[in-house]
Structure 1
């Protein structure tokens, strides 16, 4: 039984003890020789009433900021539904809220529960904390009550143990005050913990984006023009769902190298090649301690960190990347690409049970030509993956402001939601600047593009398939506002099609409705609002669907 389940049990037990003490006081008042103990039990009763208030306040302080309905809050605090306290999501939320105070809080709750049960046994209460003279309907059996208090042994025992009651009460008060202090301390530190988490996430995100950009630059430098193979080289970056706890870990990337269509009917010089990337910072010891760090991006197989460094010293230098990939060994190390600011140690990746990569198809192609529809799990997984990609790769060459589902592809026959990639061609095509008129109504293009992608995934058709005359100008031509007008209309109808979180997140992306004055993901406050307003609700849907399918 978890600490939070016990918290609900204690919430229900304390009022029962208070009621039992009231019954004791009433019973003592009817027996003249026992009236001298009335004051003792009145003190116990008043103390337990205070204990109940302090403990309930602590529980309410913990629960109030959480996203709970009035009915849920009532069940937890008033109805004392212990089953409501067993919710894994509630336990996780409370554990995060308590932080480092979680374990002492849990221990104190368990100790408090034991002492309240001991107090009930000392009062000779039943297991349900009812006095032995009460009836099953809650009434008093006067004869049984008089017999109980007139029993000489009970009278002697009650008088002899009155001091022990007070000692046990004092110990219970200490536990409750400790629980209240732990709760108040955790709540007071919550803003500081949130600030530290945001700072750590900001540093991680900045580092991740820098490393992703340097990786792109490394490919672009070597494939900025057609090499002798006369093919368009493609780097397909796998999009994974990033977790908060990864902020303290090295950035990792997985890619698959493929080709565009070869010229003059030539065959591609090598087969699609999967690799894995780990980014490692290297400190230049010849510079002062305050000098900037130079990143080293390492591409390696799925092995322990120490293993893939063993071949670094003997790894060959890569002069021609295409030729190196063409002649790469079947296992592990390919070689090292050296640049001015970074090194790239390349290893092949051999994922277990990997299917052969026999074709490349974009999500847009699946929707447009194949009429693809997505199951709920695929839809929630893909939505969260794309939102995570926007959060981590915005303002990098991997993800342009006006990206769409043509940039997202799969490379095999495996399940779509398991293998989404973002594809970039080298040499890179020139980017089209965003229309200035469009920017007047669309506050953040890359987030709007995410909203459009979520709409297309939901409706199973490209946005332009829903155009009406009202979306065009007087001559029937598209304008800078056409996409927005279509997206606005489709977003309104999404609530009857999708889970609420999916619909809300999509509408926020289309309208950039984050209650902010700055709309750049480079701004810490706006980025946090995007995270809470889009990624968090999409993750809730994803976790719900995954847990439902698993059961």
Structure 2
């Protein structure tokens, strides 16, 4: 039984003890020689009720941001309910408690032991109810009541509960006070490692596409999703546990004589007890691939084609390229951009999925800034999903690049940076977050905008420094708040206004990246985390798609 589940048991047990004490109080009031001692039982019930409220308040604080606000009260009202055994909630509670988890469990056990002491001294059954059957006479009940009203019988147990309760309060207060700093420190280290890994993937991929048709290849990197819980602050271990997926596509307009196929590959190596096996140990018997296009035209003899390597790394990083194991084929699977989904106007995914997509995309800005995988101004045309059997799969979010010349991919033909005095990358993220939540292209938010601004970047017509831009932005933010909630609206507003209280508004600046995480990424991650869809770390390997 987890420490969190034990808390639920305690919240359900204390009221039972209080009920038994009140029963003894009523008995004492009916017996002349015990009436004066009824006050003792009343004081005991009052003390236990106070400790019950303190423990409930502690739990409510602990659960803030872990479960939806409207679910906290029902959870506390049903202490033996299934939510107390929910693995996701339990793991997230442990993340919040961090290295004090064991101390928390010990204090909870102290309260549990004190309640058991009270159970014995009050002569209660295992279900915390008074042992009063039809055969129990008044003399026996008198004896039980006389023992129960003795102050010395319960004072130590109540003090033990009160002491543990106070320590729980102090422990949690300290954790919450340091939570933001710990997360920002962890996030900073994580971003650095993710950039190294994703650069290595890109460096390994680029020389493996020497064919004349290289310009037709789109490569999509699955944005890494952190696991639900990161108790262990070992950043390197956390990154090693992540799965990195890459899809490799041929554009049909340039490859009319071939099927439009997307292949996927991932970093070689298996995870065992959190340790990454050296890729070269697994790949020594397989060939290094110098031409992926040629390799994909042949069926391999085993589940793996071979590997590609980043020679610039020390030691060189190797990545396995696997034969697709999915039952899907190019006729039933396609890659589809977010912009295409928005233009096609299908029904939006559930709100919980939109929150999750937004959190993953927002995290990519500090994580992958400066790498070839995301452009300076990330837009819906750069975000991809896999469409299976005609239905978009929102499980994993991809960003796209073309390895032959990444700088050319992001040329929009319009230099709008000079017309905007804040960070264009952050503003573009804000626009993208708007589109994700409302599930519309930014040019479809208003009836008259598409005709007026169809060729104008959003950075220009949503520039809040202009009267028209301020009016348009304000109207969208109001709709965003209605659809996605106040936290989501605040994150978008910080992006559009770039009001992060930093002297240097550049993602190359560590202080600015920390501010982006604090004001934008972390709130979106918290909102997604408490949504009904769990944030998983992408254990599914995407193989053959199109």
TM-score using structure 1 length: 0.70
- The whole-number CA distance in structure 2 between the counterparts of 1:326 and 1:267 is 13
1:282 is matched with none
RMSD of equivalent CA atoms: 4.8
- The whole-number CA distance in structure 1 between the counterparts of 2:251 and 2:435 is 25
- The whole-number CA distance in structure 2 between the counterparts of 1:477 and 1:381 is 29
Aligned partner of 1:103 among 85, 89, 105: 105
- The whole-number CA distance in structure 2 between the counterparts of 1:203 and 1:466 is 38
Does structure 2 retain, via aligned residues, the 8 Å contact 1:356–1:412?
no
Deviations 1:317-342 (A, max 9, x none): 44455445555725314234351323
Deviates more, 1:395-404 or 1:420-429: 420-429
Does structure 1 retain, via aligned residues, the 8 Å contact 2:96–2:179?
no
Report the 3-state secondary structure (helix = DSSP H, G, I; strand = E; otherwise coil) of the residue aligned with 1:257: strand
Report the 3-state secondary structure (helix = DSSP H, G, I; strand = E; otherwise coil) of the residue aligned with 2:218: strand
Tell which has more relative contact order, 1 or 2 (C-alpha 8 A, sep 6+): 2
Q: Taking structure 1 as reference, are residues 65 and 508 closer, same or farther at Cα in structure 2, changes over 3 Å only?
A: farther
1:316 is matched with 287
Aligned partner of 2:327 among 353, 365, 383: 353
1:236 is matched with 220
Number of matched pairs: 491
**Residue 275 (1) aligns with residue 265 (2):** yes
| 1:96, distance to aligned residue in structure 2 (A) | 4.5
Aligned partner of 2:380 among 389, 397, 405: 405
| 1:51, distance to aligned residue in structure 2 (A) | 5.2
- The whole-number CA distance in structure 2 between the counterparts of 1:426 and 1:520 is 25
Deviates more, 1:58-67 or 1:528-537: 58-67
Alignment of 1:74-113 (within 5 A): 82=79, 86=83, 88=86, 94-98=93-97, 99-113=101-115
Report the 3-state secondary structure (helix = DSSP H, G, I; strand = E; otherwise coil) of the residue aligned with 2:462: helix
Report the 3-state secondary structure (helix = DSSP H, G, I; strand = E; otherwise coil) of the residue aligned with 1:537: helix
Does structure 1 retain, via aligned residues, the 8 Å contact 2:355–2:527?
no
Q: Taking structure 1 as reference, are residues 448 and 252 closer, same or farther at Cα in structure 2, changes over 3 Å only?
A: same
Report the 3-state secondary structure (helix = DSSP H, G, I; strand = E; otherwise coil) of the residue aligned with 1:406: helix
Q: Taking structure 1 as reference, are residues 186 and 410 closer, same or farther at Cα in structure 2, changes over 3 Å only?
A: closer
2:424 is matched with 445
**Residue 255 (1) aligns with residue 246 (2):** yes
- The whole-number CA distance in structure 2 between the counterparts of 1:15 and 1:516 is 54
Report the 3-state secondary structure (helix = DSSP H, G, I; strand = E; otherwise coil) of the residue aligned with 1:204: helix
**Residue 373 (1) aligns with residue 350 (2):** no
Deviations 1:352-382 (A, max 9, x none): 43343664432212333x3333232654554
Rg larger for: 1
**Residue 390 (1) aligns with residue 392 (2):** no
Alignment of 1:107-506 (within 5 A): 107-121=109-123, 161=147, 166-191=152-177, 195-220=181-206, 227-229=211-213, 231-239=215-223, 241-245=225-229, 248-249=237-238, 250=240, 251-260=242-251, 267=257, 272-278=262-268, 309-326=280-297, 329=300, 331-341=303-313, 342-356=316-330, 359-368=334-343, 370-376=344-350, 379-390=354-365, 392-414=367-389, 415-416=391-392, 417-418=394-395, 420-428=397-405, 429-430=407-408, 431-432=410-411, 435-440=416-421, 443-466=422-445, 481-484=460-463, 485=469, 486-497=472-483, 503=489, 505-506=491-492
Does structure 2 retain, via aligned residues, the 8 Å contact 1:501–1:541?
no
Report the 3-state secondary structure (helix = DSSP H, G, I; strand = E; otherwise coil) of the residue aligned with 1:347: strand
Does structure 2 retain, via aligned residues, the 8 Å contact 1:239–1:385?
yes
**Structure 1 unpaired stretches of 5+:** 133-146, 279-297, 547-551
| 1:458, distance to aligned residue in structure 2 (A) | 4.6
| 1:516, distance to aligned residue in structure 2 (A) | 6.6
| 1:425, distance to aligned residue in structure 2 (A) | 1.5
Q: Taking structure 1 as reference, are residues 94 and 542 closer, same or farther at Cα in structure 2, changes over 3 Å only?
A: closer
TM-score using structure 2 length: 0.71
| 1:275, distance to aligned residue in structure 2 (A) | 0.8
- The whole-number CA distance in structure 2 between the counterparts of 1:75 and 1:367 is 37
| 1:482, distance to aligned residue in structure 2 (A) | 0.4
Report the 3-state secondary structure (helix = DSSP H, G, I; strand = E; otherwise coil) of the residue aligned with 1:258: strand
1:57 is matched with 54
**Structure 2 unpaired stretches of 5+:** 464-468, 537-546
